[in-house]
Amino acid sequence: MDELLERLIESNRHYTTAGKLANYIPELAKANQNELGIYVVSSDGRTSFAGDCQKNFTIQSIIKPILLLLALMDNGEEMVRSHVGVEATGKPFDAINYTDQTLLSEHLNPMVNMGAILLCTLIKGQSYSEKFERLLELTRTLAGNPDITVNEAVYQSEKRTGSRNRALAFLLKSQGLLSDDVEEVLDCYFRGCSIQVNCKDLANIGFTFANRGRRPVSEERVFSARFAHYVNAVLMTCGMYDGAGDFAVRVGLPAKSGVGGGIMAISPTRMGIGIYSPGLDQKGNSLAGIHVLEDLSHTLYLSVF
């Protein structure tokens, strides 16, 4: 497996410079675009890796499935579904645009920013600082890494430049879907996106979802198999932004990307995969990372289809 991963990294390395860094968050524009790494945790307990897999980067939108999981653990499926939907667009089949209708909870998707911001309000805690600490602790547990922390420079950069996310939060508030203080909610969200991980962390998180809620090796149960099913299904249809359909055809795995360059991919019952390459395609997904995943999926027949 190590030889295969090394070969895939080298054969796809030329894609690293074809993408664009997420320069709308100034700290992310400082990334080394030449970096590309992968880490795989298999169901037999073996780990394999290649390239720049030890490089730290911020989790960004890959926090969204963890946010969804924590909301499910705290509230149950029925309550979460009453606040945040699961459809890829939230639009009826004949809708022209969102201005034709009132914004409703079923229009919100947990894998895009507006839905994830609302998920922050569903986490239990006396304050948003406590809510975030519980989110951070769950991330550490899933990754098996107690040293995971927040990249303060990225957090401050996101907070300074987060005008669009503020607009989304105030839209939620104007529609009566969010009642808490916008800045407190967004602070939790910005901190969550600024959690610092590496490919190994993402592979361990992905494996726990692939293993129906049980950690690698120890088989310790972290969450129910039903919640794994729920999150994996949402990732399959919505995890790669508006490139999810193309990704399903090319790769065929539940996955979540982040604009920091990470991808967490899940091969149910088989493996968890963590990839890093900060150059992004037009959809905001790691360009080289998708090519590596596509080749790995084809080689090992990983597609769920």
Residues catalogued as catalytic: 61, 64, 189, 241, 259
The DSSP secondary structure of 147-184, one letter per residue, reads T--B-HHHHHHHHHH-HHHHHHHHHHHHTTS--S-HHH
The DSSP secondary structure of 82-103, one letter per residue, reads HHS---SS---TT---GGGS--
The C-alpha atoms of residue 104 and residue 84 are separated, in whole angstroms, by 9
Partners of residue 257 on adjacent β-strands: 263
Contact between residue 296 and residue 302 where contact means Cβ atoms under 8 Å apart: yes
Q: Which residues neighbour 129 within 8 Å (Cβ) at sequence distance 6 or greater?
A: none
DSSP conformational letter for 286: B
Helix (H) or strand (E) holding 262: strand 262-267
The C-alpha atoms of residue 98 and residue 231 are separated, in whole angstroms, by 25
Helix (H) or strand (E) holding 274: strand 271-276
Partners of residue 264 on adjacent β-strands: 256, 274
Helix (H) or strand (E) holding 78: helix 77-83
